[in-house]
Structure 1
């Protein structure tokens, strides 16, 4: 059970979350890998929906 939870946690932390804020046309990319959190802010044009992409991890 612990191995399953570790794998699931790893999958969740490898997600890239992109969300447009309500107040301005800014897109925030949040990436969690291991114990580090990377936040990148980029300007966008006409994005109307939240988007979630999964990053595929290479287990080599």
Structure 2
């Protein structure tokens, strides 16, 4: 009961490296999307929008 709690760390604050995408001025690399992938995504999006119009099954 008479012991004092140790506060903080002897090493000091932890340094974390920011990921590239979080750096200021980061430019994401552009990727070409194939027509097949584009169609697949469009179909999935249409399905989601259809579900949204119904208001869900809750």
Bin of the TM-score, shorter chain as denominator length? under 0.3
Structure with the largest fraction of strand:
1
TM-score scaled to structure 1, two decimals? 0.25
Higher Cα Rg, which structure: 2
Choose between structure 1 and 2 for higher RCO, CA contacts under 8 A separated by at least 6 residues. 1
TM-score scaled to structure 2, two decimals? 0.26
Structure with the largest fraction of helix:
2
